[in-house]
Structure 1
Amino acid sequence: MKQTSPGDKILSIDIGGSHVKATILNHEGALQMEYEKIVTPPSPKPKQLVEVIQTLVKAFPVYDKISVGFPGYVKNGVIFTAPNLGTDAFKGFDLAKALEKALGKPARVVNDADMQGLGVVDGKGFEMVVTLGTGFGTALLSDGYLLPHLEISQLPIRKGKNYDEYIGEKALEKEGDVKWNKRVKNVIEILKKVFNYDTLYIGGGNARKITFKLDANIKLTSNRDGIKGGARLWKEDTREHLITSKKNQ
């Protein structure tokens, strides 16, 4: 499939549990318009989600390619899990193919934290990206290249809870900011010991609610920065590494 050329415009879409966000990027990832968003329907069916995206981008300027970050495990554009949207409905759904048919442009779909990682990392050493939103997203990168995706959010952490349940949106609403911050701090300590990252990036809508002091090698990022990963997803070197990683799984 053709890679990007300098004149290409990329429709970059971030699908979240609460909103679907989108913008147009140039070849280098610079925003060509302010990103817009629309509410994600509760427990949407795949067809409904595609229709929501069509509605959101209907009046967008012309674009050449589509990049999508999806909150779950994705392989070759096909959804395997969707913890916060409904795995049963989405399992086996080829979202890339569905969007190509609906929007008429070539599409690539990856995990949402993976796409955010491509947009925010410095590309130096072993970097980890986590997103604090409806759930808990993670991405791992080595010298700027995505490593095979791991659904760390579904691992147990305490008292029968997985990471999604421990520090996701519902936990924040139930436990309040103070207790939630203690939990996030605990999770960061675990990540330090398990991954020994060089840099940790924290994004997602709830990252702004962190009140404790972060280590020098931890950076807060915005959705605006993360959605820029949609451009890198179409760069040849990144795509080749993604394909190689999948073959070695």
Structure 2
Amino acid sequence: MKHERGFGIDIGGSGIKGAPVDLTTGTLAAERVRIPTPQPSTPEAVAETVGQILDTFGWKSSFGCTFPAVVQHGVTRTAANVDPAWVDCDAATVLRKVTGRDGLLVNDADAAGVAEVAFGAAGSRAGVVLLATLGTGIGSALIVDGHLVPNTEFGHLEIDGHDAETRAADSARDRDDLDWEQWGERLTRYFTHVENLLWPDLIVVGGGVSKKFDKWSPYVRTRTPMVPAKLLNEAGIIGAALLAHG
């Protein structure tokens, strides 16, 4: 059986990673390449690095590309951990001009959510699936019956007078020296609020702390089933390639 392939790029504040993706199995078709994010991380400099990764694999056609920002129709509206020049940048046009290929830009959490629904922990789950990535902040992706609702920012909900991620992200656990039970109480408050807004059928938790799911999840009380993400650091690449192909 012939397996279709796509290509995914994952742009982060410290590194840019990419690889071809087997779209039938949802796995990387070759070992990914990582290049440090250029400094300053202007759109043109980052696009040149993206082009280097594509050239490494001899990839000539369109590709998917994650970005740590709100992305509307190829325009990056925000910029987290990258140069401010990305704000309101027509990034899709910059990518096309610099790389000579069409690139579909997508928020990084959105790409991870799509990958987890297609090939990971959500297992093509019907209904409402929420992916929450717990790291420096809280990223979110909302998928309804397999369709992405892009650019949700549920990490920035105001809860008890605070921006939610400043209290419940993994970075807040480190900053406030919380044990798993104490952090679990904060996560319970956060996820209860989100549940009351969305009534999801499944919550998938991503980010590095998902590897320690068994340590903290017993202290989180939700009415919604909660599972750890499966694809981890490859989710963005896989989701971006899938969205670009679809």
CA offset at residue 43 of structure 1? 6.9
1:140-155 paired onto structure 2 within 5 Å: 140-155=142-157
Match of 1:53 in 2: 50
1:192 to 189, 195, 199: 195
Determine if contact 2:68/2:79 at 8 Å carries over to the other structure. Answer: yes
1:67-216 paired onto structure 2 within 5 Å: 67-85=64-82, 88-121=84-117, 122-159=124-161, 161-168=162-169, 170-176=171-177, 178=179, 179-210=182-213, 211-213=215-217
Determine if contact 2:13/2:82 at 8 Å carries over to the other structure. Answer: yes
- Write the letter of the residue equivalent to 2:210: A
2:20 to 7, 18, 24: 24
Match of 1:218 in 2: 226
Residues 188-226 of structure 1: CA distance to partner in whole angstroms, max 9, x if unpaired?
A: 222222211001111123332442236672121122244
Q: TM-score, normalised by structure 2?
A: 0.78
Structure-2 separation of matches of 1:166 and 1:55: 39
- Write the letter of the residue equivalent to 2:225: N
Is the alpha carbon distance of 1:14 and 1:192 closer, same or farther for their aligned partners in structure 2, counting shifts above 3 Å?
Answer: same
2:240 to 219, 230, 236: 230
| Number of equivalent positions | 229
- Structure 1, unpaired ranges of 5+: 1-5, 237-249
What's the secondary structure of 1:187's corresponding residue? helix
- Structure 2, unpaired ranges of 5+: 118-123
Match of 1:246 in 2: none
Is the alpha carbon distance of 1:56 and 1:184 closer, same or farther for their aligned partners in structure 2, counting shifts above 3 Å?
Answer: farther
CA offset at residue 137 of structure 1? 1.0
Match of 2:34 in 1: 37
Percent identity among equivalent residues?
29
2:6 to 6, 10, 16: 10
- Write the letter of the residue equivalent to 2:85: A
Match of 1:247 in 2: none
Structure-2 separation of matches of 1:172 and 1:14: 26
Is the alpha carbon distance of 1:148 and 1:229 closer, same or farther for their aligned partners in structure 2, counting shifts above 3 Å?
Answer: closer
Structure-2 separation of matches of 1:163 and 1:140: 17
Structure-2 separation of matches of 1:43 and 1:180: 35
What's the secondary structure of 1:10's corresponding residue? strand
Structure-2 separation of matches of 1:231 and 1:201: 20
Determine if contact 1:117/1:139 at 8 Å carries over to the other structure. Answer: yes
CA offset at residue 53 of structure 1? 2.9
Determine if contact 2:54/2:60 at 8 Å carries over to the other structure. Answer: no
Structure-2 separation of matches of 1:43 and 1:168: 27
What's the secondary structure of 1:232's corresponding residue? helix
Structure-2 separation of matches of 1:18 and 1:169: 18
Is the alpha carbon distance of 1:27 and 1:195 closer, same or farther for their aligned partners in structure 2, counting shifts above 3 Å?
Answer: same
